[in-house]
Structure 1
Amino acid sequence: MWLINTHNFELVRKDNYRENSYAILSHTWEDDEVSFQEFRDPDPSVARRKKGFAKIEKTVLMARERGLNWAWVDTCCIDKTSSAELSEAINSMYKWYEDSAVCFAYLSDMPTHPDILSQQPDDLWQLWKTKLKACKWLTRGWTLQELIAPMYVEFYDMQWNLIGDKKQSSALLEEITRIPRRIIEPYRHPNGLRYQPQHEPIACRMSWASSRETTRIEDTAYCLLGIFGINMPLLYGEGAKAFIRLQEEICKQTTDMSLFAWKASPPPSIGEPEQEFRGLFANHPCEFSEGHFMSIYNMGYTGEITITNRGIRFDGLNLRVNPEHGILMEIGCRKKYRHGVNYPGMRQYICLAKVPRGFVRHNPYKLFDDTSQTEKEIVMFQPRIYIPKDLPQADAFNIATQYNDALFVGFSGPIKNIIARPSDLWDPHRKAFLVGSSQERFAIHLTVGSAIETSKLLGEPFIVVILLEGYIEYRVLSTDDEEFHALLPILEKEQPIPHIWHFDWVTDPGSNGQPFTKTGDRFEVTVIGESDHRENDWIQIKVESHDLQS
């Protein structure tokens, strides 16, 4: 860490600095700032003739008046020509502000009131309330941590007149920034420890940055490292991927699923289509604009959240299949009133769509809650699922067309316990196999049980095996068939049926809708193929009990 000696303006490297031994400046960058190299130039005029030197000089003099020997200003205390030093500084900056004795927040666009000398700080703050809201300092990404991290922050107008400090102005700052007062003041627990941002839900912390801007796209993520307690390498040039990387790092350190409580922003251009499918991560903090209304609760999820090359992996997760809204995933947070009171039962969910070998986020412009629950909804336990981190628009378009080649299955009668194989291809909401347009020979099947449990015999499952090879072949097996027991181990492992497997398939392409019917002892299965072609084929499976009195 480079510090300015307040007695001789010398820049000194101090790797073992003491806490509360220096003052620090918070400001917005303007034209003609003093760089690290210019400040160290042997000719003092090189730095002094720059417009930005006035801020440095004022900070140093004010620190000296406080009895502090050191001061830090980001423009001249970081060697930005060294990528290693720049990375170290950005990863350490939250702590540097936190360890300062005082932070001077210079509001360069806050005009000076003519009666400033006769006003008390509290009166001044109310006087300049509307002016403060318009200050650039409250719209910049980097100044977020500069407001939160230091214990003491003093605000100065454009003429360096003291306006107030963040403790006495915390109510107004909370109103403007939506950052809780307990974070701003800063509030201390009864045990003496300071209340940290890490005590707030991830969605809430993201919302603090939702309306802030940075000059570099990558800094949208890098300015939040300290807020989330994250350290990661800087890769200027990666663009929006930096924010995806930040969310990856957050995922590795927490099970707070409010990270997924974002809503997509509308398309930037009029007439541009909305992206119906997205990955699990947000594109920008602005998509967390409502995150300050979120509180978290223990949703009972004890599995892991793991970043893999297939996407984000969840182990042992319950999904809700809602007939109207689709597949809903609980995200462990709920809305609250403005004053912190929870809405009763307003647990939040995101909507997913099934794709081959995983899920994607569907309808990303909305969060769902408990009011969407219906009696027809079922809970589907998933031992393991994968959801991509992000989804390019071209891939989202391909997903939208996946149902053109899907194999839909309609159910009627008292059906329950539907087990579809391969499970990676089964969409439980739309009741369809996402088989794609491939003409390769493979088999899919359903194991179906009757919902009538008054008779044990009616609970016996049966299998419908569907063989695909350009056209459709059907084979219906009951538990009393020898093929059922021979085939079951293969199907349970979700392996393709071998070509050497020989038994009589019921082949009915071009049957003009004539059904094939197999009647068992206690139920009847009807399979109807409406089309000779793969596209939009429909199989109707009907369970009809016989001789219910016996």
Structure 2
Amino acid sequence: MRLLNCKSLAFEEFVQNVPRYAILSHTWGDEEVTFDAMKSGAPVSQLKGHEKISATCRIAQEQGLDYAWIDTCCIDKSSSSELSEAINSMFAWYRGAAVCYAWLSDYAQDPAFSLTDDAVLASFALRESITELDRGFSDPPPLTYKELDVRNHIGESLKRCRWFSRGWTLQELIAPKHVEFYDRDWNRFGSKTQLAHILSWITGIDSGVLKGGPLDQVLVGRRMSWAANRQTRRVEDMAYCLLGIFDINMPLLYGENEKAFTRLQEEIIRSSNDLSIFAWTATLGDKRSFRSLWASSPNEFKSCQFLVKPTLEWNVRGEYSITSRGLRTRDMIRIVRGGASRKGSYFLPLDCVDARLKKDIRFVSLEQYGPSLFARRKPWLYDTVVDIEVSQASRLPLAQYICCRESPDLEAMVRSSHVGSVQIEFSLSAFDETSITVQPETDWDLRNSILLSYLRRHFWGCWRIRTMSDEPGVCVVCVQSDGWLQYGIFPWHDLPAAMDQSDLLPSQIAAILERLPVRTSARCPPWYHTVQISEHELGGGSDGITGTLLQIKSRKIDETQDGRTKVKTRLRQLFNKQTWP
């Protein structure tokens, strides 16, 4: 670690036994004094940036410290390896400092107003405690006129400082144990501990964290929300400035732009089991219907400021990992079978709740678009589900993959996956819809009851469903081959043995169906079932796309027109009709 000697203004390097040092937190301006300028021996005292160096060293010496670290001059930015090491170590360097001086170059104290006034501090502390007590039950009492005046004053002065809007200063506020704040004239106006509740109001950071509480106990999504609305000069730095907040180390690749933030999220997932990283919502200007799991920037975490862990965790059995296909999950994606608004919906519970609504579990709504492949749907929604619904929802037991690669073609891929697909409808009066099973399971979109084609010329499906009575149900089989659809319906116990396999090829299914003379109806006392076929506009992510609709019509045998004889006559008529090509 390279430190600046406060007396000689010479650099000294330490590998071990680093002495106590002060560290500066500031916003960069014009004429900063760099490492090269200091080493060259050129006169730097006339540069504007020299003032902060001399002031830092002066105050440090007054406090009995012989060394200081200032990012403008203590890093050789011409060395990419040194820059990478410094950025990856910066959180630790700020945490290890004896004291951090936060210099707000655009803030001037008001002689008539003190931030450390007991009444001001007590007002913010009391208001925070009231909000915590009332959270989830009722709205806190309104602010008094005096409280409004205080907040307006701080909002018009301190809150507007550039220091609170920069990305790098976030970790510089959180990491050090001791932070002293100085105005533009280097007059001290408070410490982080003193101003914790005011700083929490300005930044959204938990006052407990500002007072030294454990950072790793705060959910990832909530920590991300602290960086919302902050900026950095380079796009990549918006990710690099957060490395220490999440205890992540990764190489710097300037030129990768937004991919840096994607890499950061991937590293967080690899080192954490915190699903709140997926709790973001798209910004207002983003109208895409489908997205990957990754947020594009910290700004999309604005709605995560109050996230906390739920009373019960819902994904204890589940597991996930990053793969080349996306986020691989098992026993985590749920299917809501109850409630008309979400019937058949795929969702991923995120094991986090808004502290104000502790029964509502955050989740990500998903759309299937490939064999075991899912994308996030309607990413602009703040989606929650009541905890009891999560416990009642069934899980997808097979390995599933959720898209983690953002692509301008993702929406087209999701929609085109439904072209030529087959949607099926069963009579709700005759069948138990919750009993349906499908082969191949990976091709079945339960949310919309669609057998997905994924633009394949050849595919097949087999549905098994029980009746509402105690009698076994039916099996419906269809195969698509070069635009030609064949189908059949069979009583459960009469399904040809050759079809009762999951690894069949579409050509094998087609060959079996061609050898069967009758396949458009099935007599399963007390029910008689027929298949009706038509073109149909598919739902879900395939709005405007036409597919094939198989409708299973059912009626009681004893309700036919003139008894058993009339039924046989009607069956013969149906059998003689030309089947759907």
Instruction: Give the TM-score band, short-chain normalised.
Output: 0.7 to 0.9
Deviations 1:261-317 (A, max 9, x none): 11110117xxxxx10001111111111112121111322433222000000011112
> How far is the alpha carbon of 1:544 from its aligned partner?
4.9
How far apart in 2 are the matches of 1:388 and 1:402?
A: 14
> How far is the alpha carbon of 1:203 from its aligned partner?
1.0
Q: How does 1:155-234 map to 2 (within 5 A)?
A: 155-186=181-212, 195-234=213-252
Q: Does 1:536 align with 2:547?
A: yes
Q: How does 1:114-513 map to 2 (within 5 A)?
A: 121-122=116-117, 130-186=156-212, 195-267=213-285, 274-297=287-310, 298-321=313-336, 323-325=340-342, 326-337=345-356, 343-357=357-371, 358-370=373-385, 379-412=394-427, 413-416=430-433, 417-439=435-457, 441-452=458-469, 455=470, 458-460=471-473, 462-481=475-494, 484-489=496-501, 491=502, 493=503, 495-499=504-508, 502-505=511-514
How far apart in 1 are the matches of 2:438 and 2:530?
A: 18
Q: Is the 8 A contact 2:438 2:464 kept in 1?
A: yes
> How far is the alpha carbon of 1:380 from its aligned partner?
4.2
How far apart in 2 are the matches of 1:396 and 1:503?
A: 37
> How far is the alpha carbon of 1:500 from its aligned partner?
9.4
> How far is the alpha carbon of 1:354 from its aligned partner?
1.1
> How far is the alpha carbon of 1:466 from its aligned partner?
3.0
How far apart in 1 are the matches of 2:335 and 2:46?
A: 66
How far apart in 2 are the matches of 1:500 and 1:303?
A: 35
Q: Is the 8 A contact 1:278 1:361 kept in 2?
A: yes
Alpha carbons of 1:524 and 1:301: their partners in 2 closer, same or farther (altered >3 Å)?
farther
Residue identity opposite 1:349 in structure 2: F
Q: Does 1:29 align with 2:28?
A: yes
Q: Is the 8 A contact 2:166 2:232 kept in 1?
A: yes
Q: How does 1:12-161 map to 2 (within 5 A)?
A: 12-18=12-18, 21-43=20-42, 45=43, 47-113=44-110, 121-122=116-117, 130-161=156-187
SS in 2 for 1:317: coil
Give the equivalent residue in structure 1 for 2:136: none
Q: Which runs of 5+ in 1 are unaligned?
A: 187-194, 269-273, 338-342, 509-513
Q: Is the 8 A contact 2:97 2:176 kept in 1?
A: yes
Counterpart selection for 1:525 from 529, 534, 541: 529
Q: Is the 8 A contact 2:536 2:549 kept in 1?
A: no
Residue identity opposite 1:347 in structure 2: I
Q: Is the 8 A contact 1:515 1:529 kept in 2?
A: no
Work out the percentage of aligned pairs sharing the same amino acid: 33
How far apart in 1 are the matches of 2:378 and 2:454?
A: 22
How far apart in 2 are the matches of 1:292 and 1:248?
A: 21
> How far is the alpha carbon of 1:535 from its aligned partner?
4.2
Deviations 1:356-391 (A, max 9, x none): 12111111111222359889x953433221111143
Give the equivalent residue in structure 2 for 1:7: 7
Give the equivalent residue in structure 1 for 2:129: none
How far apart in 2 are the matches of 1:524 and 1:301?
A: 45
> How far is the alpha carbon of 1:479 from its aligned partner?
4.1
> How far is the alpha carbon of 1:451 from its aligned partner?
3.5
Q: Is the 8 A contact 1:110 1:135 kept in 2?
A: yes
Q: Is the 8 A contact 1:258 1:296 kept in 2?
A: no
Q: Is the 8 A contact 2:104 2:182 kept in 1?
A: yes
Residue identity opposite 2:362 in structure 1: Q
Q: Is the 8 A contact 2:423 2:547 kept in 1?
A: yes
Alpha carbons of 1:497 and 1:75: their partners in 2 closer, same or farther (altered >3 Å)?
same
Q: Is the 8 A contact 1:317 1:384 kept in 2?
A: no
TM-score by length of 1: 0.86
Residue identity opposite 1:392 in structure 2: S
Give the equivalent residue in structure 2 for 1:190: none
Q: Is the 8 A contact 1:350 1:366 kept in 2?
A: no
Q: Is the 8 A contact 1:442 1:467 kept in 2?
A: yes
Alpha carbons of 1:252 and 1:378: their partners in 2 closer, same or farther (altered >3 Å)?
closer
Give the equivalent residue in structure 2 for 1:189: none
Counterpart selection for 2:520 from 516, 519, 523: 516
Alpha carbons of 1:347 and 1:378: their partners in 2 closer, same or farther (altered >3 Å)?
closer
How far apart in 2 are the matches of 1:240 and 1:539?
A: 45
Deviations 1:488-524 (A, max 9, x none): 13x2x4x42454984343899xxxxx99222245543
Alpha carbons of 1:547 and 1:300: their partners in 2 closer, same or farther (altered >3 Å)?
farther
How far apart in 2 are the matches of 1:518 and 1:115?
A: 89
Q: Is the 8 A contact 1:27 1:106 kept in 2?
A: yes
> How far is the alpha carbon of 1:420 from its aligned partner?
1.9
How far apart in 1 are the matches of 2:436 and 2:104?
A: 64
Q: What number of residue pairs does the alignment pair up?
A: 510
RMSD: 2.9
Give the equivalent residue in structure 2 for 1:271: none
Q: Is the 8 A contact 2:332 2:349 kept in 1?
A: no
Deviations 1:388-412 (A, max 9, x none): 1143232213323443432211121
Q: Is the 8 A contact 2:334 2:348 kept in 1?
A: yes
Q: Is the 8 A contact 2:115 2:190 kept in 1?
A: no
> How far is the alpha carbon of 1:51 from its aligned partner?
1.4
Q: Is the 8 A contact 1:26 1:103 kept in 2?
A: yes
- Of 198-207 and 404-413, deviating more is 404-413
Residue identity opposite 2:70 in structure 1: V
- Of 387-396 and 32-41, deviating more is 387-396
TM-score by length of 2: 0.81
Alpha carbons of 1:131 and 1:460: their partners in 2 closer, same or farther (altered >3 Å)?
same
Give the equivalent residue in structure 2 for 1:191: none
Residue identity opposite 1:484 in structure 2: P
SS in 1 for 2:184: coil
Deviations 1:328-350 (A, max 9, x none): 2211111113xxxxx34211222
- Of 222-231 and 106-115, deviating more is 106-115
Alpha carbons of 1:469 and 1:120: their partners in 2 closer, same or farther (altered >3 Å)?
closer
Alpha carbons of 1:383 and 1:94: their partners in 2 closer, same or farther (altered >3 Å)?
same
Alpha carbons of 1:437 and 1:308: their partners in 2 closer, same or farther (altered >3 Å)?
closer
> How far is the alpha carbon of 1:223 from its aligned partner?
0.6
Alpha carbons of 1:11 and 1:115: their partners in 2 closer, same or farther (altered >3 Å)?
farther
